[in-house]
Amino acid sequence: TSSVAPPPASARPTQSVTASQTAPTRPTKETVVNCGVRPALGSHRIVGGVTARRGEWPWIGSLQYQRLHRCGATLIHSKWLLTAAHCLKSDPSPTHWAVSLGSVLRSGVGALVIPIQRVVIHPAFNSTNMDYDVALLELAVPAPMSYTIQSVCLPSPVHRFLKNAECYITGWGSMREGGEICSLTNLLQKAAVSIIDQADCQQSYGNVLTPNMMCAGYMEGGRDTCLGDSGGPLTCRELSGQWFIAGVTSWGHGCGRIGFPGVYTRVTSVRKWISTYLPF
Protein backbone atom coordinates (compact mmCIF):
# COMPACT_ATOMS: atom_id res chain seq x y z
CA THR A 1 0.00 0.00 0.00
CA SER A 2 1.13 3.54 -0.56
CA SER A 3 2.30 5.61 2.38
CA VAL A 4 0.31 8.69 3.20
CA ALA A 5 2.21 11.40 5.01
CA PRO A 6 0.42 12.93 7.97
CA PRO A 7 -0.99 16.40 7.34
CA PRO A 8 0.53 19.52 8.89
CA ALA A 9 0.15 19.52 12.64
CA SER A 10 -3.35 20.86 13.02
CA ALA A 11 -6.35 20.06 15.14
CA ARG A 12 -9.11 17.84 13.82
CA PRO A 13 -12.99 17.94 14.39
CA THR A 14 -14.89 14.95 15.73
CA GLN A 15 -18.24 13.40 14.93
CA SER A 16 -20.99 13.10 17.41
CA VAL A 17 -23.77 10.56 17.55
CA THR A 18 -26.66 9.86 19.85
CA ALA A 19 -25.84 8.54 23.30
CA SER A 20 -26.29 4.91 22.46
CA GLN A 21 -24.99 2.14 24.69
CA THR A 22 -21.25 1.72 24.27
CA ALA A 23 -19.80 -1.76 24.07
CA PRO A 24 -17.76 -2.24 27.26
CA THR A 25 -14.21 -3.45 26.96
CA ARG A 26 -12.50 -6.18 28.97
CA PRO A 27 -12.06 -5.28 32.66
CA THR A 28 -8.49 -4.72 33.82
CA LYS A 29 -6.55 -4.63 37.08
CA GLU A 30 -6.49 -0.84 37.37
CA THR A 31 -7.60 -0.03 40.90
CA VAL A 32 -8.08 3.74 40.86
CA VAL A 33 -11.78 4.11 41.57
CA ASN A 34 -12.26 7.88 41.66
CA CYS A 35 -11.92 8.35 37.93
CA GLY A 36 -13.86 7.82 34.75
CA VAL A 37 -17.27 8.42 36.32
CA ARG A 38 -20.02 10.80 35.25
CA PRO A 39 -21.91 11.94 38.40
CA ALA A 40 -24.25 14.16 36.41
CA LEU A 41 -25.53 11.14 34.46
CA GLY A 42 -25.53 8.44 37.14
CA SER A 43 -24.29 5.08 35.89
CA HIS A 44 -25.34 5.41 32.66
CA ARG A 45 -11.80 16.02 15.97
CA ILE A 46 -16.05 15.96 15.33
CA VAL A 47 -17.57 15.14 11.89
CA GLY A 48 -20.86 13.22 11.98
CA GLY A 49 -21.62 13.80 15.63
CA VAL A 50 -24.17 15.34 17.95
CA THR A 51 -24.10 17.79 20.83
CA ALA A 52 -22.98 16.40 24.19
CA ARG A 53 -24.94 17.01 27.38
CA ARG A 54 -23.53 18.98 30.30
CA GLY A 55 -21.53 16.64 32.55
CA GLU A 56 -21.55 13.81 30.00
CA TRP A 57 -17.79 14.07 29.39
CA PRO A 58 -16.52 15.80 32.56
CA TRP A 59 -12.82 15.22 31.78
CA ILE A 60 -12.73 17.12 28.48
CA GLY A 61 -11.19 20.59 28.49
CA SER A 62 -10.74 23.33 25.93
CA LEU A 63 -7.03 24.13 25.70
CA GLN A 64 -6.87 27.84 24.99
CA TYR A 65 -4.08 30.11 23.77
CA GLN A 66 -4.62 33.75 24.65
CA ARG A 67 -8.27 32.88 25.40
CA LEU A 68 -8.91 31.26 22.01
CA HIS A 69 -9.63 27.53 21.63
CA ARG A 70 -6.64 25.73 20.16
CA CYS A 71 -7.07 22.05 21.02
CA GLY A 72 -8.76 19.56 23.29
CA ALA A 73 -7.22 18.31 26.53
CA THR A 74 -8.16 15.57 29.00
CA LEU A 75 -8.12 15.78 32.79
CA ILE A 76 -6.24 12.73 34.12
CA HIS A 77 -5.59 14.08 37.64
CA SER A 78 -6.74 17.15 39.55
CA LYS A 79 -3.57 18.97 38.45
CA TRP A 80 -2.69 17.30 35.16
CA LEU A 81 -4.11 17.07 31.65
CA LEU A 82 -3.10 15.13 28.55
CA THR A 83 -3.06 16.71 25.09
CA ALA A 84 -1.24 16.47 21.75
CA ALA A 85 2.33 17.75 21.56
CA HIS A 86 1.78 19.39 18.18
CA CYS A 87 -0.82 21.70 19.74
CA LEU A 88 1.97 23.37 21.72
CA LYS A 89 4.68 23.34 19.08
CA SER A 90 4.26 27.02 18.19
CA ASP A 91 4.70 28.16 21.80
CA PRO A 92 5.67 25.56 24.43
CA SER A 93 5.86 28.20 27.17
CA PRO A 94 2.91 27.95 29.60
CA THR A 95 2.55 31.75 29.85
CA HIS A 96 -0.34 32.21 27.38
CA TRP A 97 -2.05 28.84 27.88
CA ALA A 98 -5.10 27.99 29.99
CA VAL A 99 -7.74 25.28 30.05
CA SER A 100 -11.51 25.71 30.26
CA LEU A 101 -13.26 22.93 32.23
CA GLY A 102 -16.76 21.98 33.30
CA SER A 103 -18.79 23.22 30.37
CA VAL A 104 -19.99 21.96 26.99
CA LEU A 105 -19.24 25.46 25.69
CA ARG A 106 -15.74 26.34 24.51
CA SER A 107 -16.09 29.53 26.52
CA GLY A 108 -18.80 31.36 28.38
CA VAL A 109 -21.04 30.90 31.40
CA GLY A 110 -20.33 27.85 33.54
CA ALA A 111 -16.74 27.28 32.43
CA LEU A 112 -13.86 27.22 34.91
CA VAL A 113 -10.68 28.61 33.35
CA ILE A 114 -7.39 27.62 34.99
CA PRO A 115 -3.94 28.81 33.83
CA ILE A 116 -1.34 26.26 32.78
CA GLN A 117 1.72 26.21 35.04
CA ARG A 118 3.93 23.76 33.16
CA VAL A 119 4.08 22.19 29.71
CA VAL A 120 5.88 18.84 29.31
CA ILE A 121 6.22 17.63 25.73
CA HIS A 122 7.17 13.98 25.30
CA PRO A 123 10.96 13.87 24.72
CA ALA A 124 10.56 11.51 21.75
CA PHE A 125 7.93 13.63 19.95
CA ASN A 126 8.66 13.69 16.22
CA SER A 127 6.91 16.56 14.46
CA THR A 128 7.66 15.02 11.06
CA ASN A 129 5.88 11.68 11.45
CA MET A 130 3.87 12.66 14.57
CA ASP A 131 5.25 9.79 16.66
CA TYR A 132 4.77 10.28 20.42
CA ASP A 133 2.42 13.20 19.76
CA VAL A 134 1.54 13.76 23.40
CA ALA A 135 2.16 16.33 26.11
CA LEU A 136 1.32 16.83 29.78
CA LEU A 137 -0.11 20.08 31.14
CA GLU A 138 0.18 20.98 34.81
CA LEU A 139 -2.50 23.30 36.14
CA ALA A 140 -1.59 26.30 38.30
CA VAL A 141 -4.14 25.11 40.89
CA PRO A 142 -5.96 21.78 41.25
CA ALA A 143 -9.26 21.47 39.41
CA PRO A 144 -12.13 21.04 41.89
CA MET A 145 -13.94 17.76 41.27
CA SER A 146 -17.69 18.24 40.75
CA TYR A 147 -20.64 16.96 38.74
CA THR A 148 -19.15 18.57 35.65
CA ILE A 149 -15.41 18.17 36.33
CA GLN A 150 -13.90 14.70 36.78
CA SER A 151 -10.71 12.93 35.75
CA VAL A 152 -10.75 10.06 33.29
CA CYS A 153 -9.05 6.75 34.15
CA LEU A 154 -5.57 6.00 32.84
CA PRO A 155 -4.95 2.49 31.48
CA SER A 156 -2.01 0.42 32.68
CA PRO A 157 0.80 -0.14 30.13
CA VAL A 158 -0.58 -3.65 29.43
CA HIS A 159 -4.24 -2.64 29.19
CA ARG A 160 -5.90 -3.99 26.04
CA PHE A 161 -8.62 -2.03 24.29
CA LEU A 162 -10.43 -4.57 22.17
CA LYS A 163 -10.73 -4.32 18.41
CA ASN A 164 -14.14 -3.01 17.36
CA ALA A 165 -15.08 -2.01 20.90
CA GLU A 166 -17.34 1.02 20.70
CA CYS A 167 -15.67 4.08 22.15
CA TYR A 168 -16.28 7.82 21.97
CA ILE A 169 -14.45 10.83 20.62
CA THR A 170 -15.30 14.34 21.80
CA GLY A 171 -14.30 17.85 20.83
CA TRP A 172 -15.15 21.34 19.63
CA GLY A 173 -13.57 21.01 16.19
CA SER A 174 -14.88 21.89 12.76
CA MET A 175 -17.88 19.75 11.82
CA ARG A 176 -16.75 19.35 8.22
CA GLU A 177 -13.52 18.85 6.33
CA GLY A 178 -12.03 22.13 5.22
CA GLY A 179 -13.52 24.03 8.13
CA GLU A 180 -11.53 26.96 9.46
CA ILE A 181 -10.93 27.86 13.09
CA CYS A 182 -13.68 30.47 12.80
CA SER A 183 -16.16 27.70 11.95
CA LEU A 184 -15.53 25.68 15.12
CA THR A 185 -18.65 24.58 16.94
CA ASN A 186 -19.19 26.29 20.29
CA LEU A 187 -20.96 23.23 21.70
CA LEU A 188 -19.06 20.06 22.58
CA GLN A 189 -19.64 17.30 20.04
CA LYS A 190 -19.43 13.53 20.55
CA ALA A 191 -19.32 10.51 18.27
CA ALA A 192 -19.29 6.76 18.81
CA VAL A 193 -16.36 5.09 17.05
CA SER A 194 -14.71 1.68 16.94
CA ILE A 195 -11.05 0.87 17.48
CA ILE A 196 -9.68 -0.38 14.18
CA ASP A 197 -7.28 -3.28 13.88
CA GLN A 198 -3.70 -2.05 13.48
CA ALA A 199 -3.12 -4.18 10.39
CA ASP A 200 -6.24 -2.79 8.72
CA CYS A 201 -5.17 0.76 9.45
CA GLN A 202 -1.69 -0.03 8.14
CA GLN A 203 -3.34 -0.84 4.82
CA SER A 204 -4.50 2.77 4.64
CA TYR A 205 -1.49 4.63 6.01
CA GLY A 206 1.40 2.27 5.29
CA ASN A 207 4.61 2.57 7.27
CA VAL A 208 3.69 6.07 8.44
CA LEU A 209 1.78 4.37 11.25
CA THR A 210 4.01 3.51 14.21
CA PRO A 211 3.34 1.11 17.12
CA ASN A 212 2.69 4.19 19.29
CA MET A 213 -0.30 5.13 17.16
CA MET A 214 -3.77 3.61 16.93
CA CYS A 215 -6.75 4.15 14.66
CA ALA A 216 -10.41 4.64 15.47
CA GLY A 217 -13.50 5.50 13.49
CA TYR A 218 -15.06 3.55 10.65
CA MET A 219 -13.38 2.44 7.44
CA GLU A 220 -16.52 3.52 5.58
CA GLY A 221 -15.89 7.06 6.82
CA GLY A 222 -18.34 9.59 8.18
CA ARG A 223 -17.24 9.82 11.82
CA ASP A 224 -13.91 11.35 12.66
CA THR A 225 -12.01 14.10 14.46
CA CYS A 226 -11.01 17.27 12.54
CA LEU A 227 -9.61 20.78 12.86
CA GLY A 228 -9.84 21.97 16.47
CA ASP A 229 -10.07 18.52 18.08
CA SER A 230 -6.40 17.57 18.27
CA GLY A 231 -5.36 16.68 21.79
CA GLY A 232 -8.85 15.54 22.76
CA PRO A 233 -9.60 12.05 24.09
CA LEU A 234 -10.61 8.74 22.61
CA THR A 235 -12.31 7.10 25.60
CA CYS A 236 -13.73 3.61 26.14
CA ARG A 237 -15.93 2.28 28.91
CA GLU A 238 -15.01 -0.78 30.95
CA LEU A 239 -17.48 -3.30 32.38
CA SER A 240 -17.12 -1.46 35.70
CA GLY A 241 -18.76 1.53 34.06
CA GLN A 242 -15.58 3.59 34.32
CA TRP A 243 -14.20 5.41 31.29
CA PHE A 244 -10.56 5.00 30.25
CA ILE A 245 -8.58 7.13 27.85
CA ALA A 246 -7.27 4.96 25.01
CA GLY A 247 -5.88 7.61 22.69
CA VAL A 248 -5.07 11.29 22.17
CA THR A 249 -6.36 12.79 18.92
CA SER A 250 -3.35 13.33 16.67
CA TRP A 251 -3.76 13.31 12.88
CA GLY A 252 -5.39 11.74 9.84
CA HIS A 253 -5.90 12.03 6.09
CA GLY A 254 -8.73 14.50 5.74
CA CYS A 255 -11.78 14.23 8.01
CA GLY A 256 -14.15 11.29 7.91
CA ARG A 257 -12.83 10.05 4.56
CA ILE A 258 -13.57 6.52 3.42
CA GLY A 259 -10.63 4.23 4.20
CA PHE A 260 -8.79 6.78 6.33
CA PRO A 261 -9.82 6.66 10.00
CA GLY A 262 -8.49 9.06 12.61
CA VAL A 263 -5.05 8.41 14.11
CA TYR A 264 -4.45 8.71 17.85
CA THR A 265 -1.43 8.53 20.13
CA ARG A 266 -1.69 5.23 21.99
CA VAL A 267 -1.88 6.06 25.71
CA THR A 268 -0.60 2.65 26.85
CA SER A 269 2.63 3.39 24.94
CA VAL A 270 3.27 6.51 27.00
CA ARG A 271 1.81 5.36 30.33
CA LYS A 272 5.20 4.81 32.00
CA TRP A 273 6.32 8.28 30.92
CA ILE A 274 3.13 9.77 32.39
CA SER A 275 3.86 7.98 35.67
CA THR A 276 7.13 9.89 36.06
CA TYR A 277 5.09 13.06 36.59
CA LEU A 278 1.85 11.87 38.18
CA PRO A 279 1.69 10.61 41.78
CA PHE A 280 0.33 7.21 40.69
Q: pLDDT band at 40, cuts 50/70/90?
A: low
Q: Which of 61-75, 189-203, 265-279 has the lowest mean pLDDT?
A: 189-203
Contact between 176 and 234 under an 8 Å Cβ cutoff? The reply is no
Render pLDDT for 84-117 as a digit per residue (tens, 0 to 9).
999 998 899 999 999 999 998 876 667 899 999 9
- Residue 230 in contact with residue 10, Cβ under 8 Å? yes
| Per-residue pLDDT, 81 | 99
CA distance 268 to 253: 23
What is the pTM (predicted TM-score) of this model? 0.81
Render pLDDT for 182-234 as a digit per residue (tens, 0 to 9): 456 788 888 888 898 899 889 888 888 999 999 988 766 544 444 448 999 99
The pLDDT of residue 139 is 98
* Residue extent(s) of CATH 2.40.10.10 domains in the chain: 39-55+152-269, 60-150
Cα–Cα separations (whole angstroms), residue 275 to 80, 157, 247, 269, 271: 11, 10, 16, 12, 6
Domain 39-55+152-269: assigned CATH number: 2.40.10.10
Tell the CATH topology of 60-150: Thrombin, subunit H (2.40.10)
SS3 205: helix
Catalytic site residues? 86, 133, 230
Q: Is 28's pLDDT higher than 80? A: no
CB 43, CB 256: distance < 8 Å? no
Query: Of 273, 78, 240, which is closest to residue 157 (Cα–Cα)?
Result: 273
Q: What pLDDT score was predicted for residue 108? A: 64
Mean pLDDT, the chain, rounded, equals: 79
Q: Are 121 and 131 in contact (CB under 8 A)?
A: no
Residue 17, pLDDT > 50, answer: no
* Amino acid code (one letter) for 134: V
CA distances from 119 to 83, 98, 116, 135 (A): 10, 11, 7, 7
